[in-house]
Structure 1
Amino acid sequence: MPLIDISIAAGRTPEQLRALIHGVHRVAEDTVGAAPENITVIVREVEHQHWARANTTIAERNRSS
């Protein structure tokens, strides 16, 4: 029973998120033979001011661009 937990920066459209869920679900079926009804996909959207790499948030990087 795969549980696939995805964290992604906020800002994608509902259609993009749906396509992501679909693609990840399909890969889980194809690669590990998981039954579709046993696959759980969680997508967590993280606000840009709450996501940092190298001590700089996405919001800060976007402001400096």
Structure 2
Amino acid sequence: MSKTFAYIIILIATILIVINGFKLDFEQLFEGDSLIGLIGITASLCTIVIMLIFLTSKKIEDKVSRK
């Protein structure tokens, strides 16, 4: 998996956070479409964290291989 692919995944996850944010109804946050929106936002945030960990590991790998 390349760094470019990771950045594309982060961009898609960010777009999905915005889209799912529009589904939220703060009066009934844990019911219906709001619950689906919350699950989507949580999954997208997890994806971003995983991709950031991947990018950090790639940076470490590059530094170790240079020595």
TM-score grouping bracket, smaller chain normalisation: 0.3 to 0.5
**Which structure would you say has the larger RCO, counting Cα contacts within 8 Å and 6 or more residues apart?**
1
User: Higher strand proportion, which one?
Assistant: 1
TM-score normalised to structure 2 length = 0.34
